């Protein structure tokens, strides 16, 4: 029986590039999804006749104010961003969907890996000929 050295298939550069773009797009979309679905900050119940925004009223020191100004924000424009408080409530259905997606992905990867592992074993050692105990 002659044994040959196994040479795994090599993914081309274009395939790696496409894979990297897909992963980058998925990461971007996963970070953008909360913004699109409106789940990033709790709505504030601000009165209609609120006072004029100042850096001091927003508890921003001189350094913070300078950084906001470098970004092109004055006290009026920065006030809605600074005053919104993030909501860290966990929604049961969102958690359930996340767990389900991760579980389905895990079993998908497990199944594909098992099939590819068996293909490699068959290429390297040949198909099983019988029961060997």
pLDDT band for position 62 (cuts 50, 70, 90): very high
Over range 69-96, report the average pLDDT.
86
- Residue pair 6/124 in contact (Cβ under 8 Å)? The answer is yes
pLDDT digits (tens, 9 = 90+) for 26-61: 999 888 887 777 765 555 555 556 677 888 888 889
- In sequence order, what are the residues at sequence separation of 6 or more whose Cβ sits closer than 8 angstroms to the Cβ of residue 19? 11
Give the whole-angstrom CA distance, residue 62 versus residue 60. 7
Q: Which pLDDT value is given to residue 71?
A: 92
In 10 A of CB 89, how many CB atoms? 8
Q: Which pLDDT value is given to residue 72?
A: 92
The DSSP call for residue 111 is H
Report pTM: 0.40
Plot region of 131 (φ>0 → left; ψ -120 to 50 → alpha; else → beta): beta
In 10 A of CB 86, how many CB atoms? 8
């Amino acid at each position: 029986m002659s044994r040959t050295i196994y040479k795994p298939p090599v993914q081309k550069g274009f395939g790696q590039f496409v894979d990297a773009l897909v992963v980058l797009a998925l990461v971007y979309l996963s970070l953008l999804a909360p913004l699109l679905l409106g789940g990033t900050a709790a709505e504030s119940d601000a009165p209609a006749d609120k006072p004029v925004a100042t850096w001091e009223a927003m508890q921003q020191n001189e350094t913070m104010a300078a950084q906001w100004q470098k970004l092109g924000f004055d006290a009026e424009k920065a006030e809605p961003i600074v005053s919104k408080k993030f909501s860290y409530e966990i929604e049961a259905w969102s958690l359930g969907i996340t767990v389900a997606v991760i579980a389905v992905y895990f079993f998908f990867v497990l199944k594909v890996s098992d099939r590819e592992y068996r293909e490699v074993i068959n290429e390297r050692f040949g198909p099983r000929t019988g029961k060997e105990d």
